[in-house]
Structure 1
Amino acid sequence: MQKVQHELLVVYANQLLEKEHSGCRALLRDDKVDDLSRMYRLYHKIVKGLEPVANIFKQHVTAEGNALVQQAEDTATNHAANTASVQEQVLIRKVIELHDKYMVYVVECFQNHTLFHKALKEAFEIFCNKTVAGSSSAELLATFCDNILKKGGSEKLSDEAIEDTLEKVVKLLAYISDKDLFAEFYRFISLSNLSLSTVPV
C-alpha cells in the first residue's frame, strides 16, 4: 500500500497537482475546500510532499493579489483623482477580504501547517509592497485607517466593526516592508486633519 501511495503521489506529483480540472490550482480557483483538505491529508503523509502544494498555494494567492493591485492601478489611471482615491480604499478592503479568505484555508484546509502560513506571508509580501498610482501600500493603509477612524469609512461602521477592521489592518501591516513609513504617513494625515479642524470658518 505504501509503495502504491509513493508511486501515485511522489512519482506523479506534478501531473496530479497540475491537472487542469482537478489539480491543486483548479481546486484553489474553484474554492473546493473539501477537496483541498483531502489533498492536504494525502500529501502530508509523504516526505516533503506538501512543498509543491504550498508553492502552488503561494502562486495562486500572489496572482489574486496582483490582479487586485492591477485593477486599482488601471482605475486610478483612467479616472479622476477622487474616483481613484475611492478605488484605492476599495483595494485595501479587498486585500483584507482576500487575507481573511485564505487564512481560513490555511487553518481549516491545511491544518495550520507552518509551510502554508509561510506561503501566505510570502504571497502577501509580494503584492502588499507595490505602489498604486504613485501611492505606496504604507500610504494607502494609513489613509484607510484615518478614513475608518474618522467616520467609520464609507460603510458607517459600528465601533465594534471599526475595531475588527483595524485589527485586520494590523495583520496586513506585518507584510509591509517599511512600517516606519506607515507611521509617518499616518502622523502626517492626523496632523493635517487637526489643522483643518482648527481653521476658523
Structure 2
Amino acid sequence: MPLILKKRIVFVKILSLSMLRTFFLSRKITTRSAAEFDCYTLKLADASDLPECFKLYADLHDGNGLSKFKKLLYRLCSGKVIIAAYSKFDAGSIKKIYAVDMYYVNKRDAEENTVHEGFIGVLPEAEGKGLATQMRSFASTVFHDAGLSGISTRISEDNIASMKSAKKQGFKVVERYFDETQGKFRCYMKKTF
C-alpha cells in the first residue's frame, strides 16, 4: 500500500474517533437554557443556527470556512457543542449571531474528561464588551452539568484579548510551544471545574 494512502487511512481513523467522542458528549448535554448578558442572549445552537454559525466562522477567517469534517461533526451533534450569542433586540425569526464558541473532544480531552474549545470568535461590532468571557462562563456551566471535569483551549500568545478572556474564566497555561504551521508561540490552557 502506498505511504500516502496509509497516511490518509490513519487521518480518517483519527477524525472518526474525534467525531464519535464529540457525538457521545453531545448526547450528555441536556440543558437548553439560555443566559442573558448585556444586550445578548447566549444559548446552545440548534440545527437551524448552524449555517449562520458556519458563516460567522468563515467571515472571521478571511472567507475560509470550516472543513467538511467539522461541519458534519457539528450537524451530527445538532449544534449542542456550539454556543451562539444573539442580540436580544432581533425581531421575530431574524436571528443574527454575533459570536460563536465551538467545541469538540480530542484524544487528550477524552483521557482527561474535558472538552476542547476549537474556536471562539466575536464579530467586530461586538468586540471589547466581555462577550467571549461570558460565553466561556456559559460553556463552563453546560459542560460541568454534562459531567465533564474541565475545558481545554489553545491560544496564540499574541492574541491578547483571547488570553485575557480565558484567564478571567480561570484557564491556566499548562504548556507553551512553538507552532510551526502558524509561525508563533501558542499556549495550551485548561480550566478545571
- More strand per residue: 2
Name the structure where helix makes up a greater proportion of residues: 1
